[in-house]
Amino acid sequence: MKVLVGAYSQITNAEPMPVYEQALETVCKPLLTHLHACEDAIMQLSLSIPLLDWLDANHGSINLLISDLAKNGKLEMLTGSFNQSILSLLSPKDRSNQIEMTTTYLRKRFGQRSKTLFSYGQVFNPLYINTANLCFIDSIVISTSSEAGIQQFAEPFIMQEMGKSVSIIPTDDAISTLIGSFARNKIGFGNLVEQIRVYLESKPPFVMAMINLDYLVQGGISAQQTVQLFNLLFGYETCSIEEAYLHNDPPKKGYLQAGWYGNDADKGDLSCINELFVKDESLAYLYGRYTTMVETARLYKKDKDVRKRLEALIQKMSCGTMYVCDANAPMLRSSVRKVFWRYISEADSVLASLKDYSYPVNNDFDHDSLMEYLFIGKYLSCVVDSKGGSLSELTYLPSLYNYGDTFSPLSHFGSTSGNHHQLPPGQKQRLFSDVFLSEQCIMDEYTKRDEQHCLSLGDQVYTLEGVDRRNTEYVATCTTGYSPIIGGILQVTKHFKLRQNTIMVDITLTNIGEEAISCIYGCEIPLSIDSHSFPLSFIQLENKKNLTWDEKEVVLEQVKSLRMYDEPNSTSLTLVGDTRFTLLKEDYSIEIETVLGTETLYQHTLFMASWPLVLASGGEKKVTMGLRIERK
């Protein structure tokens, strides 16, 4: 019986500080201290770079302890992707860079050159074999449990791909499943320890107990319980990676297909990471924005310092945490996505400012065969999208904060039951998108899922044309086709005017049918606004007296303008209409169990301005909306 004991944490950048502190006090510190006290124990460890950096800055003694354990041969550090990238989503060059950066980081700090890779998110692709050889990696530790929960390999094996070979060390699915059950409060700690003890006493030939430390924290483990759990595991003669094979015979051969393995992340019915980009429009846009930026930035060859700066930004924006919903729920944390957008916007600004380079203003960022138009001004940058005739991004450049980073994830990622006005899962929410509601629709009951009373043009492809040579004005046009909700056919024309601090949209609705129509027209402006507290408050601006509203969801009539404050970025946003409108406001959030317990994670705030629409044949209605962003 061969026993290997490992542990890993996938805490990401931009996580709340209590996540780091809880991981330190309840698992990392007691585990490493106990390992130091156990004479013959050997352990494999994979800690994320953000966690190691935080320990180095705030608890240097822990990193000194890790270094001491590594030099004494009691601890084997596993390498991985430096920026927690999903390696299969990167180019071969970037895959190698991510691994080499991590390996160098570990060697400089802990005096050990790692030859074993642990894949972030347990995403695997046969392409890793060639990359591992280039980076002098001998083995890969990963779960081989498929989406059906079946462990495909129980013992280490050699995998070959295109003439290159690497040892695959499969983690023990039985133990990983028990740890996952503990995290979800399906079993208590005493039951967990007892079931692991019974399993080990059955003496399976090979055990690679790779313990998810984040799951232990999520399950509410204490420091004493951490010591108790690992004391049980260290009670067996633990081995190093080099001693993993069962005997001296030639190792078995096997082949692990590309897939998303293990139970670290909530995957729903997804079998591979790329399916996420097929089903979730927002994440497809994120990834497309990254790949397009990489291609565009690397076309610039002139200034060496600029190339170096762009390359550093490319490595940082290759982070894959936005695509993974694990115990830390980085996918659902707006702060994690904002870090990505900060790097994207910075790279945009660098490329746009170059006098010896022509930065393309139109691109297919989300690879949907529709061109988007990028505008970069003095204070604002935005992407005008023909889908929905709307804005896919809206970034305030002084703070590099993307207010258009809205998110409505797939249904199995957390719970949206706390939201009154439900959104279609996986659909990107764009700014200044159009909806039409039946006359009988009650605004308190509005939802885009109700297709009997709501016609949403968010997925409609508009004809998009630039108006001026400076690329500051665009006209988007579409025809609704006959709809019983409208009672006829409408042509929608939107004229976007992109200024220094302001987005102006002139909207013209024309009845091109033969019958009179009567319905409600709404213009949605979902904004992701940072705040020290939620619900997000706003001020209704009036001539006589301003009114402050603190409700999570509210419907107001006869609104002329309103203002929101983004305190962390010292920014104010003002939304104005040329005619009074009915305002619907709701904070959209998702509830999910994380390492901090049950969290309600803010995604964005929906502001919808609506007007009654009654038009005779050939009649038209014009409204103008303005959104101004400026320093407080």
Strands 433-437 and 517-527: antiparallel
Residue 491's pLDDT is what? 96
Alpha-carbon distance of 490 to 477, in angstroms, equals 11
Please answer whether residues 581 and 555 qualify as being in contact, where contact means their C-beta atoms are separated by less than 8 angstroms. Answer: no
Structural domain contains residue 29: no
Residues 378 and 491 in one domain: yes
Which contiguous run of DSSP H or E holds residue 32? Answer: helix 29-37
Residues 301 and 249 in one domain: no
Share of the chain above pLDDT 90, in %: 83
Residues 313 and 188 in one domain: no
Residues 410 and 547 in one domain: yes
3-state class (DSSP) for residue 315: helix
Residue 222's pLDDT is what? 96
Residue 360's pLDDT is what? 87
Residue 86's pLDDT is what? 96
Structural domain contains residue 25: no
> What predicted TM-score, i.e. pTM, was given to this entire model?
0.93
Cα four-point dihedral sign 142, 148, 151, 152:
negative
Residue 440's pLDDT is what? 85
Alpha-carbon distance of 142 to 256, in angstroms, equals 10
Q: Tell whether the model's pLDDT for residue 24 goes beyond 70.
A: yes
Q: How many CA atoms lie within 13 A of 443 on its CB side?
A: 21
Residues 315 and 184 in one domain: no
Q: Tell whether the model's pLDDT for residue 403 goes beyond 90.
A: yes
Residue partners of 217: CB distance under 8 A and separation at least 6: 22, 23, 26, 27, 327, 595
Q: How confident is the model at residue 123 (pLDDT cuts 50, 70, 90)?
A: very high
Which contiguous run of DSSP H or E holds residue 547? Answer: strand 547-549
Q: Tell whether the model's pLDDT for residue 248 goes beyond 70.
A: no
Long-range contacts of 446-451 (CB under 8 A, 24+ apart): 446/421, 446/522, 446/584, 446/608, 447/421, 447/422, 447/423, 448/421, 448/422, 448/423, 448/424, 449/422, 449/423, 449/424
Q: What are the E-state strand segments in 467-543?
A: 473-479, 490-498, 502-511, 517-527, 538-541
Which residues does residue 182 pair with via DSSP β-bridges, in sequence order? none
Q: Tell whether the model's pLDDT for residue 429 goes beyond 90.
A: yes
Q: Tell whether the model's pLDDT for residue 28 goes beyond 80.
A: yes
Residue 243's pLDDT is what? 85
Structural domain contains residue 286: yes
The predicted-structure confidence for 199-234, as pLDDT tens digits, reads as follows 999 988 999 999 999 999 999 999 999 999 999 999
Instruction: DSSP for 289-305, please give it.
Output: HHHHHHHHHTT--S-HH
Residue partners of 355: CB distance under 8 A and separation at least 6: none
Q: Tell whether the model's pLDDT for residue 247 goes beyond 70.
A: no
Structural domain contains residue 597: yes
Residue 464's pLDDT is what? 94
What domain count does the chain have? 2
Of 117, 151, 150, nearest in space to 133 by CA? 117
Residue 441's pLDDT is what? 87
The predicted-structure confidence for 89-120, as pLDDT tens digits, reads as follows 999 999 999 999 999 999 999 999 999 999 99
Residue 145's pLDDT is what? 85
Q: Which domain holds residue 373?
A: 275-631
Residue 149's pLDDT is what? 62
Please answer whether residues 616 and 515 qualify as being in contact, where contact means their C-beta atoms are separated by less than 8 angstroms. Answer: no
The answer to whether the peptide bond before residue 126 is cis (omega within 30 degrees of 0) is no
Residues 388 and 438 in one domain: yes
Q: Tell whether the model's pLDDT for residue 148 goes beyond 70.
A: no
Structural domain contains residue 355: yes
Q: How confident is the model at residue 246 (pLDDT cuts 50, 70, 90)?
A: low
For residues 45-58, average pLDDT: 96
Of 599, 268, 562, 553, nearest in space to 422 by CA? 553
Q: Tell whether the model's pLDDT for residue 396 goes beyond 90.
A: yes
Residues 248 and 283 in one domain: no
Identify the burial level of 18 via C-beta atoms within 10 angstroms of its C-beta, where 0-12 means exposed, 13-18 middle and 19 or more buried.
Answer: exposed
Residues 249 and 320 in one domain: no
Alpha-carbon distance of 67 to 106, in angstroms, equals 9
Residues 246 and 305 in one domain: no
The predicted-structure confidence for 296-354, as pLDDT tens digits, reads as follows 999 999 999 999 999 999 999 999 999 999 999 999 999 999 999 999 999 999 999 99
Residues 45 and 76 in one domain: yes
Structural domain contains residue 343: yes
What the block records as the tokens of 323 is: 């695509």
CATH number at 532 reads: 2.70.98.10
Q: What are phi and psi of 27, to 5 degrees?
A: -130, -55
Of 150, 55, 61, 145, nearest in space to 105 by CA? 55
Residue carrying the six token digits 């030859």:
115
Structural domain contains residue 615: yes
Structural domain contains residue 227: no
What integer best gives the mean pLDDT of the chain? 93
Q: Which amino acid is at 460?
A: Q
Q: What's the start-to-end Cα distance of the chain, in Å?
A: 66
Residues 445 and 528 in one domain: yes
Residues 61 and 204 in one domain: yes
Query: What is the radius of gyration, based on Cα positions, of the chain?
Result: 27
CATH number at 246 reads: 3.20.110.20
